[in-house]
């Protein structure tokens, strides 16, 4: 029985891929956010949001709208709206950027070594779309000792209890 099921699913896979590719060619369906239309994105973002998320820039300290912002809710990626941080883990680090001591889930961010600007840091990017969010340091409060130093320009805020809108 298992042998027949495996052979049937292997026979349907090429057909499924063929139909999907035909629909993509016709424009009936669009690819997921891993292939973002850069021109469309550039029109949607402010110049600062583009610089931070797409060119790995950094906003000036103490200038971001979420630096001294403490409402209850969830912070999401400005590009793909993936949920990243909870207001429960946000704290005032005094560094000039929003700081969090934990991510909602480790799989939602990607951490990579960053040796730019004559420093060694750990860059934080969105795992879903690859947008630059900021950096993480090991000088945060207990118990995690983490300080996710995130640019306001790279995130959106959704108030607690707010119904999340689905893209149309």
Q: Catalytic residues, which ones? A: 149
Rounded to whole angstroms, how far apart are CA atoms 61 and 59? Answer: 6
Neighbours of 98 (CB within 10 A): 26
Place of tokens 């990626």: 77
Rounded to whole angstroms, how far apart are CA atoms 97 and 134? Answer: 9
Q: Is 86 helix (H, G, I), strand (E, B) or coil?
A: strand
């Amino acid at each position: 029985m298992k042998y027949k099921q495996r052979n049937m699913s292997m026979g349907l896979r090429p057909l499924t891929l063929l139909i999907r590719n035909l629909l993509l060619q016709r424009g009936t369906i669009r690819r997921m956010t891993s292939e973002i239309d850069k021109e469309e994105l550039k029109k949607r973002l402010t110049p600062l949001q583009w610089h931070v998320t797409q060119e790995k820039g950094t906003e000036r300290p103490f200038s971001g709208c979420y630096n001294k912002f403490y409402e209850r809710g969830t912070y999401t990626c400005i590009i793909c709206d993936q949920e990243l941080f909870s207001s429960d883990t946000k704290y005032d680090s005094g560094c000039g950027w929003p700081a969090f001591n934990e991510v909602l889930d480790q799989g939602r961010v990607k951490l990579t070594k960053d040796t730019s600007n004559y420093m060694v840091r750990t860059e934080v990017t969105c795992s879903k779309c690859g947008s630059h969010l900021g950096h993480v340091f090991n000088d945060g409060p207990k118990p995690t000792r983490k300080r996710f130093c995130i640019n306001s320009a790279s995130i959106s805020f959704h108030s607690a209890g707010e119904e999340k809108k689905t893209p149309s």
